[in-house]
Structure 1
Amino acid sequence: MPFARLATATTPTCHLGLGLAAVGRPGYINLGRDEDLGRDRGVEAMRARTHELLDAAYAQGVRYVDAARSYGRSEEFLADWLNARPGADDVVVGSKWGYTYTAGWSTDADRHEVKDHGLATYERQRAETDALLGGRLDLYQIHSVTQDSPALADKDLHARLADAAAGGLTVGFSTSGPAQADAVRAALAVTVGGEPLFRTVQSTYNVLETSAGAALAEAHEAGLTVIVKEGMANGRLAGPHAPDALKEVAAATGLGCDAVALAAVLRQPWAGVVLSGAATVAQLTSNLHAPAVDLDEDRLARLATLAEDPRAYWERRGQLPWH
């Protein structure tokens, strides 16, 4: 397991990773993105921004980076950075397949990505990822599995994924939507030759959306590494947009709302890696204060009052504009 490399790390940020969803393409759904990125969203500007973030993350102890085929040119930007920094061979690299980027480097496309979990898409996107990341790829995840995803029942796909695992690639899956817990449990039941197929799970979990918590604990108990995405709820937990209870706890700790929100996720005993989705170095630096946040039981209890009904949470997320 590539994440064994993180288990021996001693830096405070070893359990924080950097996700490239917000910087691998010009458009995304994070709140405040217009202010974060400004008007220059050209390929080279976004490449430079990604490299700046990766430099800052690495310097501060981050050793997991998460990309996806649908994150625009995220794999390309990451590959360029890795090739230019041979000393960064301790970085664990994850990517995902199952969505195709279709926005054509635009922020106002009718469709930004198309989902397909079929074997043909896996074969095509695996070749595309290998062409960019080659032997640096540690983890390949099915992107946004749901309980009814054909990827959970396709035996031919399972055989191909098992072949990849036998060749040294770690195979995982991510989840999205109000029924994440059901998707996690369904994926845990997938076996090939009597052995579990998946070794990692990446799910949305934050103080607003906690519904997958019990299932993620079960995945952890089953031996999977749990990666948490959207700990900032696509910007809803950042300072300008944070609910009052989060602002009050942040004020009491002396740190930002973002650091407190991520600290609440880090406190979960099953959380292996928690992703920062920062778009600027300042955001990243603030996010990486999360391990230093002092969250006592009273503060955790106040944050627990923020949990929303998962259907309401995902309905609101689905209404966030691409910008």
Structure 2
Amino acid sequence: MPFARLATATTPTCHLGLGLAAVGRPGYLNLGRDQDLPSVRSVDALRERTHELLDAAYAQGVRYFDAARSYGRAEEFLAEWLTAHPEADDVVVGSKWGYTYTADWSVEAERHEVKDHSLATYERQRAETDALLGDRFDLYQIHSVTPDSPALTDKELHAKLAESAARGVTVGFSTSGPDQAEAIRAALAVTVEGEPLFRTVQATYNALETSAAPALAEAHDAGLTVIVKEGMANGRLAEPYAPRVLKEVAAEVSLGCDAVALALVLRRPWAGVVLSGAATVGQLSSNLHAAVVDLDEDRLARLATLVEEPHAYWERRGQLRWH
């Protein structure tokens, strides 16, 4: 499996990955993004920013890069970078299908993406990903599976995904929403000819939203690689938005709130890869300090007081505007 390459890596940051959601398109949900990106968010400007981030991440030991069909031109930008860096043959590349980007490079679009987990969407988007990334992508994930997703019950889709796995592409899924744990457990039960279909799960977990933890531990025990997204809660755990307790712990360890927030996730024994969603090289470098943060039992106990009720967390996330 491709993630074996990470298991044998020795750099402290090898289990931190770079997600490209915030830089592959001009609009996204992260707080503070209006200050993070160039004032003119042209395709060329975001291509340049993405390549700067990939350069910095690779130089600092990051070996997992995460994209999606709905992240605007993220796959395109990543493919260009991979072509220009043949030495980066040790990275693991993941992408996702199931959402279609519909904003046409506009921040003011009424809808930025449309969800569809049908077999037809998989086949169309798989061809699009193949055309851009070719044999350089290792992992293809169903984007944002929920308990009612038809992707959990569509046997024809499962057979197509199993064919892809037989040809060497790892099959995984991501989850979103307050019922992540239910979705994860339902996905773990999906089999093709008696064999589990999914080998990875990507889920939201952070200091505010911890409800998926037991199911993620079960997935890890079942042999899946766990990828954690939104460890920064769409910027809510970064300066200047971070809660007071997080700011206090960050001051004690002389590192940023972002490093502490991601370190909290890295400590989970089931966390295989923890994603940075940085939009600047400075943010990325600060995020990567998570690998060396010292969180003792007292600090962990204080950070545990930040946990929110899942429905309240996701309701607040749903109120964030694209900007």
TM-score bracket for this pair, using the shorter chain length:
over 0.9
Amino acid at match of 2:228: V
Q: Deviations over 1:62-121 (max 9, x none)?
A: 000000000000000000000001001111000000000000000010000000000000
| 1:84 alignment counterpart | 84
**1:31 aligned partner:** 31
Instruction: Provide the residue aligned with 1:209 in structure 2.
Output: 209
Report the Cα distance in structure 2 between the residues aligned to 1:322 and 1:148, rounded to whole angstroms. Answer: 25
Q: In 2, Cα distance between the equivalents of 1:180 and 1:303?
A: 22
Q: What letter is aligned with 2:155?
A: K
Give the residue type in structure 2 aligned to 1:79: A
Give 2:271's aligned residue: 271
Alpha-carbon distance between aligned partners in 2 of 1:37 and 1:83, rounded to the nearest angstrom: 25
Secondary structure of 1:231's aligned partner:
coil
Give 2:46's aligned residue. 46
Supply the AA of the counterpart residue of 2:123.
E
Task: Supply the AA of the counterpart residue of 2:69.
Answer: R
TM-score, length basis structure 1: 1.00
Which position in structure 2 is the counterpart of 1:253? 253
Give the counterpart letter for 2:2 in structure 1. Answer: P
C-alpha separation in 2, matches of 1:35 and 1:170:
36
Structure-2 separation of matches of 1:137 and 1:80: 13
User: Match of 1:237?
Assistant: 237
Three-state SS of the structure 2 residue aligned to 1:86 is coil
Aligned to 2:95: 95
Size of the aligned set, in residue pairs, is: 323
Identity %: 83
Structure 2 residue 312 is matched with structure 1 residue 308: no
TM-score by length of 2: 1.00
Q: CA deviation at 1:42?
A: 0.1
CA distance in 2, matches of 1:147, 1:2: 27
Matched, 1:281 2:281: yes
2:177/2:314 contact within 8 Å kept:
yes
What SS does structure 2 have at the residue aligned with 1:140?
Answer: strand
In the other structure, the counterpart of 1:172 is 172
Residue 305 of structure 1: SS of its match in structure 2? helix
- Consecutive unaligned residues of structure 1, counting only runs of 5 or more, are none
Distance in structure 2 (CA, Å) of the matches to 1:99 and 1:66:
15
The answer for the alignment partner of 2:291 in structure 1 is 291
Contact 2:38 2:45 in 1 (8 A): no
CA-to-partner distance for each residue in 1:159-182, whole Å, 9 max, x for gaps?
Answer: 000000000000000000000000
Give the distance between the partners of 1:40 and 1:300, measured in 2 at CA: 41
CA distance in 2, matches of 1:93, 1:291: 21
- 1:297 to partner: Cα distance: 0.5
Displacement of 1:316 after TM fit?
0.3
CA distance in 2, matches of 1:81, 1:256: 29
Alignment root-mean-square deviation, CA: 0.4
| Aligned-partner SS, 1:304 | helix
* C-alpha separation in 1, matches of 2:226 and 2:304: 21
Report what 2:150 is aligned to. 150
| Whole-angstrom CA distance in 2 between matches of 1:115 and 1:167 | 26
How far residue 40 of structure 1 moved from its aligned partner, in angstroms, is: 1.3
**Matching residue's letter, 1:63:** R
What is the Cα deviation at residue 239 of structure 1? 1.3
AA aligned to 1:317 is R
| Structure 2 residue matching 1:288: 3-state secondary structure | helix
Give the CA deviation at 1:38. 3.3
Report what 1:4 is aligned to. Answer: 4
- State the partner residue of 1:220: 220
Distance 2:138 2:165 in 1: 10
Runs of 5+ in structure 2 lacking a partner? none
- One-letter code of the match for 1:296? D
Cα distance in 2 for residues equivalent to 1:177 and 1:169: 26
